[in-house]
Amino acid sequence: MLATKLPTDLKTTPNFLTTAGPFVTWAGGKTQLLGQFDDLFPPDFNNYIEPMVGGGAVFFHLFNNSRIKHDAFLIDSNPELMNCYFVIKEDVDSLILELQWLAEEYNKEPKEFFYRVRKWDRSSGFLRPRSLLFIGEI
Ligand SMILES: C[S@@+](CC[C@H](N)C(=O)[O-])C[C@H]1O[C@@H](n2cnc3c(N)ncnc32)[C@H](O)[C@@H]1O
């Protein structure tokens, strides 16, 4: 099982965005249901453990509302998805640069470039974060 731990003092670091949200549209995501679910959640959490984080709609909702008081442990059996969380946590600036490059290349020859990126993924046996996020956006 793959997991990542987020420090909840992130919000006190300079320039940290005060809200974050799912970075992929994930089958079964709970974004549309948060209004219905919210009353069922405890008012706050000490340590928050999400065993099937997926796109993280519930996690981001609780985090953005400061309801996670200590650490958050995000877990999912999908290695490509967990790799995205790791890369976003560890080196988001490099990922943004790669995505900008992908967007530029895509704009030159959309169809050909889309299939080229998809082929990279298949040959490597897993979806690298930039490709997963890129393909998810198209
Ligand atoms: C419906 S999404 C989770 C929704 C998410 N918690 C939210 O807040 O929107 C389902 C996720 O559960 C993961 N999953 C399914 N079975 C699992 C298992 N046995 N262990 C860990 N993760 C699992 C899938 O990989 C997928 O990413």
Distance between CA atoms of residues 76 and 85, nearest Å: 10
Q: Is the pTM of this model over 0.75?
A: yes
Distance between CA atoms of residues 29 and 34, nearest Å: 10
**CA within 13 Å, CB half, 124:** 13
Q: What is the pLDDT of residues 61-76, one digit of tens each?
A: 999 999 999 999 999 9
Ligand 1 nearest atom to the CA of residue 22, by list position: 9
Best probe residue, ligand 1, of 53, 62, 64 (max atoms within 8 Å of C-beta): 53
What are the E-state strand segments in 7-71? Answer: 48-50
pLDDT at position 38 is 93
| Ligand 1, atom 14, residue with closest C-alpha | 52
Is the Cβ atom of 22 under 6 angstroms away from ligand 1? no
pLDDT at position 46 is 96
Distance between CA atoms of residues 28 and 16, nearest Å: 28
- All structural domains of the chain with their residue ranges: 1-77, 92-138
Q: What is the pLDDT of residues 43-60, one digit of tens each?
A: 999 999 999 999 999 999
CB 67 within 8 A of CB 44: yes
| Ligand 1, atom 26, residue with closest C-alpha | 54
| Ligand 1, atom 3, residue with closest C-alpha | 54
